[in-house]
């Protein structure tokens, strides 16, 4: 067959090239460009090679120390909220009604926190936790607990974690609920006939059938919590001291506060890389878990 | 091991106060023999699964009682009844191996470990699952999975009856035969009561020694496959069982004669007193109506088409407004589309309001 050569087709692809170039490639290349140079203002740039990256990954320098400290904070924060939100989400999903009008009521109530913009969530908790006028802070202090997220590191962490749990457990619960709804009734009936206890039903049926959605929930919550910025920024501003300064907050401080474009660019590239790698790991795990199935099905 | 009695058992999914006609299962009283192989046969939505779920305890009846060996178990939960059930789609516990799947019901009941191992081994051998005991159950084919669900029932030594809810729906045709003969063999070996729900008459007739036909929430007939074929108690049984189904045509019955379309057919029995005002029909299986060349003594019919089933041919004919299926004798050919029908009087039954009327000899 003769191929029809028609160069006009390029015109159809052109808009995509332009949009991608302006939205992704150019900004990324600008960041790469900055990360290799140093500037003292006046739009004068000096070549620095991989200097910023070396400094960033060396904990003995100021930049490296700040990077690793915030990286640890981020990892600990993600670990804590995952450890709370995943089991809590499962429990909420399990205790939701399976039919009737109450289902709709529960779903709407669960979805509410997800509909609130990030900075509004931050503001809500910022006011809620204030010892002078906030309902939570005022009550706790009157009960004899000296709660003050502005001065106490532990209180600040507790506030940020509780806020995240309040904001995002719903997502985990909704995903788990969808997973639970997809289990056919016959499984529960068979378990009844097999004399399974409530716990045995959970271990043998519900948890295995939910593992796919749980993987998605863990992925989403890890990504989101690792990139968290708005809520802690609004509530604690990264303090007291640097105790709640996560990578994103550190990045904004370096880039916009100190105007160290080179350092900030190097940091954002590494930050980006970490997220990409974790994303890839999750993606591989998930697609493998999915691909195993049909291949197994036929084999006896 | 148990005899199961249903006493005036009925169920409505919208409660006991629902109008009687809306009941998914209309009141039924019947006995299931210990060690019997039963098939519950009927079209979709006739209430057969409801009846099965009532016996296993998944559904609590609106009315009536269920007795196992004479003792009332109606209020008992599924766990406490000695019942096993195999569902339409294989239910297996994904994370467990075949062996763990089989051991699950025993483990839940706190059976000692040594006994569990012994029972699982025996049942696995019985079901030809022994080579797969350490495999993950999810990796097996549908028929092996269905065997595992069955095995989870058999593994309990106390099981009184095994209920099957259309268990071969997802199995490949050639494996269906194998699995069904396996079930028959197990039934002979273990002396268990088996109740098998299906809408496939071949499945029901080959599996069961007693077939219970259900229609619109009612048990319309229960009997051996031969009884269902020879003497359907209800016109529904007549056309649901057999292929093609029974010919059922309105007729005028008087004594030993039935009149269709002005033509008189002799009957084997005397039907003197028929309920007045009832809809009277006669039913005759196509196997007992032969096509013959038109003759003056025969009911004349117009042949519409002839279905060749290989070993036997059936003609679809029209008599007045009613349609008939009739056997075409080997080597018979009709010059034009006109033919006569020859009835076998011994197999012509009379129905009043769809129910069989027993004549007097």
CB contact under 8 A, B84 and A190: no
Partner A contacted by B318 (CB < 8 A): no
Q: Quick one: pLDDT at residue A297?
A: 40
CA-wise closest residue to B281 among B260, B302, B255: B260
CA distance A269 to A28: 9
B4-11 sheet: strands from edge to edge = B25-32, B4-11, B63-68, B71-72
Return the ∠ at Cα A57 (arms to A53 and A62), rounded to 5°: 95
CA distance B4 to B29: 11
Whether residue B105 sits in one domain with residue B219: yes
The SS3 call for residue B352 is strand
Per-residue pLDDT, averaged over B76-100, amounts to 86
Which positions in chain B touch A296 (Cβ < 8 Å)?
Answer: 136, 138-139
CA distance A241 to A250: 12
Q: Quick one: pLDDT at residue A203?
A: 87
Which of B194, B211, B238 is the last residue before a domain boundary? B238
Partner A contacted by B157 (CB < 8 A): no
Which positions in chain A touch B149 (Cβ < 8 Å)?
Answer: 190
Pinpoint the alpha helices (H) of chain B.
Answer: 48-56, 98-108, 113-126, 142-154, 173-190, 201-207, 225-230, 235-240
Which positions in chain B touch A188 (Cβ < 8 Å)?
Answer: none
Instruction: Supply B83's token pair.
Output: 């019942």
CB contact under 8 A, A204 and B104: yes
Question: How many domains are contained in chain B?
Answer: 2
**For every residue of chain A, which 3-state class applies, written as one string?**
CCCCCCCCHHHHHHHHHHHHHHHHHHHHHHHHHHHCEEECCCCCEEECCCHHHHHHCCCCCHHHHHHHHHHHHHHHHHHHHHHHHHHHHHHHHHHCCCCCHHHHHHHHHHHHHHHCCHHHHHHHHHHHCCCCCCHHHHHHHHCCCCCCCCCCHHHHHHHHHHHHHHHHHHHHHHHHHHHHHCCCHHHHHHHHHCCCCHHHHHHHHHHHHHHHHHHHHHHHHHHHHHCCCHHHHHHCCCCCCCCCCCHHHHHHHHHHHCCCHHHHHHHHHHHHHHHHHHHHHHHHHHHHHHHHHHHHHHCC
CB contact under 8 A, A193 and B88: no
Which of B238, B268, B296 is the last residue before a domain boundary? B238
Q: Quick one: pLDDT at residue B360?
A: 79
Contacts of B45 (CB under 8 A, 6+ apart): none
For chain A (length 300 residues), average pLDDT per consecutive 10? 74 90 89 84 78 82 86 92 94 89 91 90 89 87 84 88 93 93 89 87 88 86 89 84 86 84 88 86 72 42
Return the ∠ at Cα A138 (arms to A135 and A141), rounded to 5°: 145
pTM of the full predicted structure? Answer: 0.75
Return the ∠ at Cα B243 (arms to B237 and B246), rounded to 5°: 45
Per-residue pLDDT, averaged over B128-152, amounts to 86
ipTM: 0.76
Q: Which DSSP state fits B325? A: E
Angstrom distances, CA of residue B314 to CA of B291, B301, B304, B307, B326:
9, 14, 11, 5, 5
What is the torsion angle, in degrees rounded to the nearest 10, for the CA atoms of residue A168, residue A170, residue A171 and residue A173? Answer: 130
At B354, the pLDDT band (50, 70, 90 cuts) reads confident
The SS3 call for residue B342 is strand
Whether residue B198 sits in one domain with residue B72: yes
Among chain B residues, the shortest Cα distance to A183 is held by B91
Whether residue B189 sits in one domain with residue B123: yes
Which positions in chain A touch B140 (Cβ < 8 Å)?
Answer: 300
CA-wise closest residue to A194 among B182, B87, B165: B87
| Domain carrying residue B339 | 246-357
- Least reliable range by pLDDT among B13-22, B54-63, B217-226, B347-356: B13-22
Q: How many CB atoms lie within 10 A of CB B18?
A: 14
Q: Quick one: pLDDT at residue A294?
A: 43
Instruction: Supply B13's token pair.
Output: 């999914």
The SS3 call for residue B235 is helix
Whether residue B348 sits in one domain with residue B230: no
Whether the CB-CB separation of A264 and A255 falls below 8 Å is answered with: yes
CB contact under 8 A, B78 and A187: no
The SS3 call for residue B353 is coil
Instruction: Supply B79's token pair.
Output: 């766990």
Which positions in chain B touch A297 (Cβ < 8 Å)?
Answer: 139, 141
On average, the pLDDT of chain A sits at: 85
CA distance B104 to A194: 7
CB contact under 8 A, B79 and A195: yes
Whether the CB-CB separation of B165 and B85 falls below 8 Å is answered with: yes
Whether residue B333 sits in one domain with residue B217: no
pLDDT at B275 over 80: no
Identify the CATH number of the domain in which residue B19 sits: 3.40.50.300
Whether residue B341 sits in one domain with residue B285: yes
Identify the CATH number of the domain in which residue B257 sits: 2.40.50.140
CB contact under 8 A, B94 and A298: no
Which of B208, B238, B268 is the last residue before a domain boundary? B238
CB contact under 8 A, A208 and B94: yes
What are B342's strand-pairing partners?
Answer: B290
Whether residue B148 sits in one domain with residue B28: yes
Instruction: Supply B258's token pair.
Output: 């039935």
CB contact under 8 A, A297 and B139: yes
Whether residue B226 sits in one domain with residue B79: yes
Return the ∠ at Cα B235 (arms to B44 and B353), rounded to 5°: 115
CB contact under 8 A, A296 and B138: yes
Whether residue B214 sits in one domain with residue B141: yes
CA-wise closest residue to B30 among B223, B225, B235, B202: B223
Q: Quick one: pLDDT at residue A289?
A: 62
CA-wise closest residue to B193 among B165, B223, B163, B161: B161
CB contact under 8 A, B152 and A187: no
CA distance B231 to B191: 29
Q: Quick one: pLDDT at residue B1?
A: 58
Please, which residues 241-280 of chain B have a Cβ atom closer than 8 Å to chain A?
none
Among the partner residues B56, B140, B152, nearest to A300 by beta-carbon distance: B140
Which positions in chain B touch A205 (Cβ < 8 Å)?
Answer: 93
CA distance B91 to A143: 53
Q: What is the pLDDT of residues B58-76, one digit of tens each?
A: 888 888 888 888 888 888 8
Among the partner residues B58, B104, B153, nearest to A189 by beta-carbon distance: B58
Return the ∠ at Cα A74 (arms to A72 and A75), rounded to 5°: 65
Partner B contacted by A201 (CB < 8 A): no
Q: What is the pLDDT of residues A10-58, one digit of tens each?
A: 888 899 989 998 898 898 888 888 888 887 777 777 888 787 788 878 8
Best probe of the B interface among A99, A184, A190, A299, by most B CBs < 10 A, is: A190
Whether residue B234 sits in one domain with residue B250: no
Whether residue B177 sits in one domain with residue B46: yes
Whether residue B279 sits in one domain with residue B224: no
CB contact under 8 A, B87 and A189: yes
């Amino acid at each position: 067959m003769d191929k029809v050569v028609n160069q006009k087709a390029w015109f159809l692809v052109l808009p995509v090239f332009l949009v991608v170039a302006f939205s992704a490639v150019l900004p990324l290349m600008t960041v790469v460009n900055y990360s290799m140079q140093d500037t003292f203002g006046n739009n004068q740039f000096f070549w620095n090679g991989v200097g910023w990256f070396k400094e960033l990954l060396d904990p003995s320098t100021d930049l490296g120390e700040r990077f690793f400290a915030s990286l640890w904070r981020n990892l600990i924060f993600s670990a804590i909220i995952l450890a709370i939100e995943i089991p809590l989400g499962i429990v909420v999903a399990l205790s939701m009604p399976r039919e009737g009008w109450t289902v709709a009521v529960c779903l709407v109530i669960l979805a509410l926190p997800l509909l609130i913009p990030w900075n509004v969530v931050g503001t809500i908790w910022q006011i809620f936790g204030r010892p002078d006028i906030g309902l939570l802070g005022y009550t706790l202090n009157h009960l004899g607990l000296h709660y003050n997220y502005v001065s106490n590191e532990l209180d600040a962490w507790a506030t940020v974690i509780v806020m995240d749990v309040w904001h995002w457990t719903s997502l985990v619960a909704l995903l788990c609920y969808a997973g639970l709804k997809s289990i056919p009734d016959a499984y529960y009936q068979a378990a009844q006939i097999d004399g399974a206890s409530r716990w045995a039903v959970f271990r043998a049926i519900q948890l295995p059938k939910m593992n796919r959605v749980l993987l998605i929930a863990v992925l989403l919550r890890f990504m989101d919590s690792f990139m968290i910025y708005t809520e802690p920024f609004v509530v604690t501003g990264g303090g007291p001291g640097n105790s709640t300064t996560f990578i994103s907050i550190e990045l904004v401080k370096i880039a916009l506060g100190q105007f160290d474009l080179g350092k900030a660019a190097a940091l954002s590239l590494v930050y980006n890389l970490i997220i990409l790698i974790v994303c890839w790991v999750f993606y591989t795990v998930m697609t493998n878990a999915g691909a195993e199935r049909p291949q197994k099905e036929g084999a006896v | 091991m148990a005899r199961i009695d249903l006493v005036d058992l009925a169920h409505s999914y919208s409660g006991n106060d629902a109008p009687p006609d809306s009941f998914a299962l209309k009141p039924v009283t019947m006995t299931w023999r210990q060690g019997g192989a039963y098939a519950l046969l009927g079209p979709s939505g006739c209430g057969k699964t409801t009846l099965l779920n009532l016996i296993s305890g998944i559904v609590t009846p609106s009315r009536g009682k269920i007795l196992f060996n004479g003792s009332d178990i109606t209020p008992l939960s599924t766990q406490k009844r000695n019942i096993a059930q195999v569902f339409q789609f294989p239910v297996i516990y994904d994370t467990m191996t075949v062996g763990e799947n089989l051991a699950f019901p025993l483990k839940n009941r706190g059976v000692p470990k040594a006994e569990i191992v012994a029972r699982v081994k025996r049942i696995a051998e019985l079901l030809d699952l022994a080579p797969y005991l350490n495999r993950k159950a999810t990796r097996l084919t549908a028929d092996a999975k269905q065997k595992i669900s069955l095995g989870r029932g058999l593994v309990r030594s106390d099981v009184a009856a095994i209920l099957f809810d259309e268990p071969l729906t997802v199995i490949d045709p050639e494996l269906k035969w194998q699995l069904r003969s396996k079930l028959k063999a197990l039934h002979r070996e273990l002396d268990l009561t088996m109740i098998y729900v299906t809408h496939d008459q071949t499945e029901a007739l080959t599996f069961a020694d007693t077939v219970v036909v259900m229609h619109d929430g009612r048990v319309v007939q229960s009997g051996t496959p031969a009884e269902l074929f020879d003497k359907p108690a209800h016109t529904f049984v007549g056309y649901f069982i057999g292929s093609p189904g029974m010919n059922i045509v309105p007729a005028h019955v008087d004594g030993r004669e039935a009149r269709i379309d002005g033509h008189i057919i002799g009957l084997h029995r005397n039907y003197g007193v028929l309920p007045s005002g009832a809809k009277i029909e006669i039913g005759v299986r196509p196997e007992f109506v032969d096509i013959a060349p038109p003759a003056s003594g025969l009911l004349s019919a117009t042949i519409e088409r002839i279905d060749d089933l290989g070993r036997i041919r059936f003609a679809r004919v029209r008599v007045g407004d009613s349609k008939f299926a009739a056997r075409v004798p080997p080597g018979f050919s009709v010059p034009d589309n006109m033919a006569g029908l020859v009835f076998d009087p011994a197999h012509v039954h009379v129905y009043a309001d769809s129910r069989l009327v027993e004549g007097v000899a």
